[in-house]
Structure 1
Amino acid sequence: MPHQIAVITGAGAGIGRATARTLARAGCDVALIGRDAARLQDTAAELAELHIRTLTIAADVTDAEALERAADRIEDTLGPITLWVNCAGAGVSGQFVELAPEEIRRATDVTYLGTVFGTRTALIRMRRRGYGTIVNLDALSLPRPLRSIESGARAAIRAFTESLRPEILHDGDRIQLSLVSLPAINTPRFVWTRNHTGKRLRPAGPVFEPEIAAEAISRAAFGRHRDLRVGLSGVGQRVAALLAPSLLDRRQAVHAYRQQLEKHPADDDTPDNLFTPVAGAHAAHGPFDHLSRRRMPLLLTTTLQTILAGTALAVGAAALLATLRRGAADRRG
């Protein structure tokens, strides 16, 4: 395996910043891409003691040409890009009809098109050499009310990733395209998301520290996993969505609002990062350290997911067969 030159978008805070530390500890040289130059420099300063090379580039991931220029500079300065991680994202929360069209477009552009443009930029360069790894991020939980735009963008990323894999296989390149599905992560996004709910936002379900997400991304990249799910959060909901979708809709309508909103009203003057970066130094962690779990949950690789799904089907088939046999025995009796 060649020396790793890793590129991380959204590297100034949150999952991107935690991933930069994790990959640097693994010995990668790291290029940091984000909108806020000062925050990127702060991230690079954290990595200085690890004795790896860093490069910071202020760029907006919705600008495909800016990403192309950034990638050229990275390869001229650090060397061939071998790993690209798409962590950049932006959100807007609230009832869908209350969201302005420009907010919808911007949140979709950053989260979805930012991933698409980042993937394209990396893939063009990796195909020249026939190898490399790209990691995209998905949400583990089901789509939730008040987060329709982010939910749509993450679903689009999942479909985009799955559609692109056969193209890579067709061309015969040794390029791995991984999808990491994450639970709620304690990052500044709960403060930075443009908020139309009137209440402070909070994570729904189990919440984990960003270092957990970063470790999962690292394992997906170096283990060359097709898909990697962090924990079992949301599995029950997905089963319910298949078996009783209307009941799940009603439950979401009643409980999902309370799960995502604090009792306290949101501050009217709280800045968001939808169109411009939030000023000041910000770390990987958000305001929910007191709720966050620091222990790595079960990581479900593609192989393990297949085994679990097969086991569940076998158990279900056995239970159904047993029920049919009991019914037949009762009728004979």
Structure 2
Amino acid sequence: MTNQRHTKTVVVTGASGGVGRAAVRAFAARGDRVALLARGRTGLAAAADDVVRAGGEALTVPVDVSDAGAVEEAASRVEEAFGPPDVWVNNAFTGVFAPFTEIAADEFRRVTEVTYLGYVYGTQAALRRMLPRDHGAIVQVGSALAYRGIPLQSAYCGAKHAIQGWNESLRCELLHSGSQVRTTMVQLPALDTPQFDWVLSRLPHRAQPVPPIYEPEVAARAIVHAADHPRRREYWVGASTAATLLANAVAPGVLDRYLARTGFRSQQTAEDRDPAALVNLWSPADDGPSGHDFGAHGRFGPQARATSAQAWASRHHMAAGAAAAMAAAAAVAVARGLRNG
């Protein structure tokens, strides 16, 4: 039975696979009405089945988020079917694994239009429906790479940096106007998603996330929490995200040299890349000849972590702070006892 107390209208872009797929399941599990936006119809249909099985209502809307008009039309379809959105999650992206000098201009533009401008267009569509009601939460799914660029992903890193700066501007404007609409950002770590089998790559070996790797459900839990608590400006997920952002704030030059030494090797496995592998830059991978549904998970399950203590601490920062203070006080007490004993 649907829990009416929590039922919301939620829109998720990039809903057919990876983090988006895990997120729609998480929203559906509490009975939400979930609108699934993505390009691939095979993945969308499978994601809708997931939502219904989890206890939610599903609406599939095929759309390329790089098209502002199409995103607005998609938002209108959602409003007609489910009512205006309470939550809008921007998550759709694409990328290229290659040195900057090996990325063509149209490829770089495509990554930027999907990964950055797709968030802009989604947020514009959401605000047109949230601001008149003075109600709603927008979640921008980010990455540690929104603050720290790494080699071989210059187009993706540039887009995530752009999202971070633009979202800060938007947040300030909403606060200035006294609006009750909120925008927040969730910075994610490396995740076990199918993207490493469909993102355009010119690397000699198969692409992989930089360990430690987390399951997409870790990200999904953080996204749902951020949607419910959007007054927090940002959430960090994973100890690796926190460590990366803190190290970059303190010693970015040292991190430059470290990533120059390790960043090429750590993003590739020992297996040769298949030159005939699927690529989703221009068209959805799941609408290929096989019509394959990629789901939420990639091929790194044996290495992936299902939980993150840091993510819990980010969601419960007051409790975590109290626990840290108690631990520090206990440590002081123990030290005094040893000294006086």
- Name the TM-score, length of structure 2 as normaliser: 0.86
Task: Report how many aligned residue pairs link the two structures.
Answer: 309
Structure 2 residue identity aligned to 1:205: P
Q: Which residue of 1 aligns with 2:120?
A: 116
How far has the Cα of 1:297 moved from its partner?
2.8
Q: Which residue of 2 aligns with 1:216?
A: 222
| 2:49 aligned with 1:45 | yes
Change (3 A) 1:239 1:68: closer
Q: Which residue of 2 aligns with 1:172?
A: 178
How far has the Cα of 1:251 moved from its partner?
1.8
State the SS of the aligned residue for 1:228.
Answer: strand
How far has the Cα of 1:137 moved from its partner?
1.5
Q: Which residue of 1 aligns with 2:254?
A: 247
State the SS of the aligned residue for 2:47.
Answer: helix
How far has the Cα of 1:125 moved from its partner?
0.6
Change (3 A) 1:2 1:297: closer
> Which of 194, 204, 226 in structure 2 is aligned with 1:198?
204
Matches of 2:49 and 2:223, distance apart in 1: 22
> Which of 34, 40, 43 in structure 2 is aligned with 1:36?
40
Q: Which residue of 2 aligns with 1:315?
A: none
Matches of 1:2 and 1:167, distance apart in 2: 28
Matches of 2:193 and 2:117, distance apart in 1: 21
How far has the Cα of 1:52 moved from its partner?
2.6
> Which of 278, 281, 285 in structure 1 is aligned with 2:297?
285
Q: Deviations over 1:170-194 (max 9, x none)?
A: 2222111010000001111111110
How far has the Cα of 1:3 moved from its partner?
4.0
Matches of 2:188 and 2:177, distance apart in 1: 30
Percentage of identical aligned residues = 38
> Which of 164, 168, 171 in structure 2 is aligned with 1:158?
164
| 2:77 aligned with 1:73 | yes
State the SS of the aligned residue for 1:233.
Answer: helix
Structure 1: 5+ residue runs without aligned partners? 312-333
Change (3 A) 1:241 1:223: closer
Alignment of 1:220-235 (within 5 A): 220-224=226-230, 225-235=232-242
How far has the Cα of 1:260 moved from its partner?
0.6
How far has the Cα of 1:262 moved from its partner?
1.1
How far has the Cα of 1:231 moved from its partner?
2.2
Structure 1 residue runs of 4 or more that deviate by more than 6 Å after TM superposition: none
Structure 1 residue identity aligned to 2:272: P
Q: Deviations over 1:89-120 (max 9, x none)?
A: 00001110011111100011110001111111
Q: Which residue of 2 aligns with 1:327?
A: none
Change (3 A) 1:241 1:79: closer
Does structure 1 retain, via aligned residues, the 8 Å contact 2:6–2:32?
no
Does structure 2 retain, via aligned residues, the 8 Å contact 1:178–1:226?
yes
How far has the Cα of 1:236 moved from its partner?
3.8
Matches of 2:217 and 2:169, distance apart in 1: 29
| 2:20 aligned with 1:25 | no
**Bigger shift: residues 56-65 or 132-141:** 132-141
Matches of 1:39 and 1:259, distance apart in 2: 29
Change (3 A) 1:65 1:231: same
Does structure 1 retain, via aligned residues, the 8 Å contact 2:88–2:139?
yes
Q: Which residue of 2 aligns with 1:129?
A: 133
Q: Deviations over 1:130-180 (max 9, x none)?
A: 000000012125311001111111111111111101111222221110100
Structure 1 residue identity aligned to 2:152: L
| 2:115 aligned with 1:103 | no
Matches of 1:51 and 1:252, distance apart in 2: 44
> Which of 272, 280, 293 in structure 1 is aligned with 2:279?
272
- Name the TM-score, length of structure 1 as normaliser: 0.87
Q: Which residue of 1 aligns with 2:9?
A: 5
How far has the Cα of 1:302 moved from its partner?
8.7
